[in-house]
Amino acid sequence: MESCEKSVSEGIQKEDVTLEPIGQPIVEKNDDVAENAAERQVSKYAKMTKEELVVSLSGLLDQQDVDIKDDVTAIKHHFYNIRKAELEEEKKSFVERGNELAAFAPMPDAQEEQLKVLLQKYKDIRAAQQEALEAQLQENLSKKQAIIAELESIVADPDNINKQYQKFQQLQSDFKEVGNVPPTDDKQLWKAYQLVTENFYDLWKMNKELRDYDFKKNLEAKEALCEEAEALAAEKDVISAFNKLQRLHEKWREVGPVVKDLRESIWGRFKDASTVVNKRHQAFFEEKKAKEKENEEAKVAICQEAESIELPTLTSFQQWDEATKQIIALQERWKTLGYAAKKVNNELFARFRKSCDEFFAQKAVFFKNRKDEFAVNLAKKHELCEKAESLKDSTDWKTTADALIELQKEWKKIGPVPKKSGDAVWKKFIEACDYFFENKNKNVRNVHQEERANLEKKRVLVEKLKNIDEAMPKADIRNLLKDMSAEFKGIGHVPFKERDKIYNEYKTALNAAYDKFDLDGKKMRMNNFVSNVSEISNDKNKLFKERERLVRLYEQKKNEVKTFENNLGFFNVTSKTGGAVLKEMENRIARAKKDLETLEEQIGLIDEKL
């Protein structure tokens, strides 16, 4: 910004021939204006191929007097992005063929060689242009120094100042028409020109009316420029206002001097108006840079979130779907963001695109592998379905039931399949199983009468439990309850709908009898066990043998519970008899768990003795 201020200030000085004081820099140029224009100009190269980029560069080099620096930079950038991607693919292919990465050597690229030739040509052109520019600046310096020397010669002859007015004006015009000079000489040259100009006007003995008219005309012109500059403060387009201000400064340089008393005030007015526009312009680009910084941070956060997705942990369709939604959401967020700073914007986009490309590539591999796996699993389920359909008409009830249960176990071990085809094959499989078990159930309907008779027997037995003679000795009552329990268990099946009800009545009556006569069966067994352990408490070998026996019994009972619980998963609760079998299995599990509790107490008692 300091160099921009210097060039503008000196530009004002070298064009203005007034005696006005040279103020502080009032016009600031911002490189971001040129950068934005260049960004829009070169964005067209982003989608070109290498061949198209080379052709475009060749065409640009044929143009004359056109600044193509940004275009050349963009072409080179996009070309080597493409070339880098090609080299990565060549390396990958080279390694996949079984070669060592260290042995890799890139294949020659004709377009790259042609690009290098064109870039060297561009470099040579730039060097020639720079050399020509420097020569022109030196030539302009010599011309302006010669003009200043002539002006000084006029000022050195004060007696003929009035006669030299027209020549002095012509020399001023000639000085303005000469172009720029080397920056190192510009300031000193301007001071010399300004000094000789001021000296000329101080010595000039022109007609008062003519001089006043000239000053008045210049004042009106500068007031008009001030009004235009002040009006720019209300213009909505900050960039347009800034550019218009540059043109107003160019006009200001061309206007001659005003009366000495007004020089500082008119210059101060124009400078103040310029300051307002410059501050708006500076604030605009500071805000733009702040927004670019904000966009950069937001894009870095998006890149980090995309990179944080651990692809190896995505092992299911649901996980991949959720991750895909996350990636798409990140892409939508990216679209809502504006540009970051030019030096990082392309890098961030390449970084985010790389993460997205890797994600979707891995997703494609996963779905391909799962598709093959699904096909294998579906074939296995079709095979089980065919086996089930071949068994559904069998009348070998026990063998076939066991075989179908084994098929159901195998079915559970098979992995996932596509939902639509999986539902269809499952429906055929379960229909075959249900068909067999329904036929099996129909075969045993003739036992219903027997079940009704058994129900009546159990009801009679329950009534007996409720009406035990209280005068009987406890030992006789205990034996009676034991015999009645054995009798209840010995009675066959009852109707399914009455099964739980009669069993609950029996258990209620039996528990009531134990409570009524103070005969806790579990407590009685524990008391007998305690008595037996006490008898052998002095013999450690017998205690160890008894403990080993109880531990074996505990493990057997524990495995029995586990088997019962596993079998629960194989029952079809949707069939007519599935619910009854499931209830019986749950009762058996509950009884087995109570036995485990008793065994744990008994083992603990022996451990205390040991």
pLDDT digits (tens, 9 = 90+) for 71-84: 898 888 989 898 89
Contact call for residues 98 and 80 (beta carbons, < 8 A): no
Taking the C-alpha atoms of 288, 292, 298 and 304 in order, what is their torsion angle to the nearest 10 degrees? -170
Task: Tell me the average pLDDT across 461-476.
Answer: 84
Instruction: Give the span between the Cα atoms of 478 and 523, in whole angstroms.
Output: 13
Burial class (CB in 10 A: 0-12, 13-18, 19+), 463: exposed
Q: What is the mean pLDDT of residues 207-234?
A: 83
Give the range among 49-53, 82-86, 440-444 with minimum mean pLDDT: 440-444
417 in Cβ contact with 435 (< 8 Å): no
Summarize the confidence of residues 548-567 as an average pLDDT. Answer: 84
Task: Give kind and range of the element (H or E) at residue 522.
Answer: helix 521-535
267 falls in which pLDDT band (50, 70, 90)?
Answer: very high
Q: With a threshold of 0.75, does the pTM exceed it?
A: no
Rounded average pLDDT over 418-442? 79
DSSP state of 308: T
Q: Which of 118, 106, 108 is nearest to 76 (CA)?
A: 118
The pLDDT assigned to 278 comes to 92
Q: Looking at residues 366-375, what average pLDDT do you find?
A: 75
> What average pLDDT is seen over the chain?
79
Instruction: Using alpha carbons, select from 230, 301, 243, 302 the residue that is nearest to residue 269.
Output: 230
Residue 103 has pLDDT above 90, yes or no: no
Name the pLDDT band for 578 (thresholds 50, 70, 90): low
Neighbours of 338 (CB within 10 A): 12
If you average pLDDT over residues 530-556, what whole number do you get?
Answer: 81
- Rounded mean pLDDT of 234-248? 89
Q: Worst-scoring range by mean pLDDT, 40-54, 202-216, 462-476, 479-493? A: 202-216
Cα 443 to Cα 440, 570, 597, distances in angstroms:
5, 22, 40
State the number of CA atoms in the 13 A half-sphere of 337 facing the CB: 24
- Highest average pLDDT, of 17-26, 184-193, 494-503, comes from 184-193
Average pLDDT over residues 586-591: 78
> What pLDDT, on the 0 to 100 scale, is given for residue 43?
67
- In angstroms, the Cα distances linking 594 to 34, 331, 522, 558, 569 are 88, 60, 10, 11, 22
Q: By the 8 A CB rule, do 122 and 129 touch?
A: no
Token match 């060689």: residue? 113
**Which has the minimum average pLDDT: 42-56, 201-215, 272-286?**
201-215
pLDDT at 355 over 60: yes
- Give the pLDDT band (50/70/90) at residue 338: confident
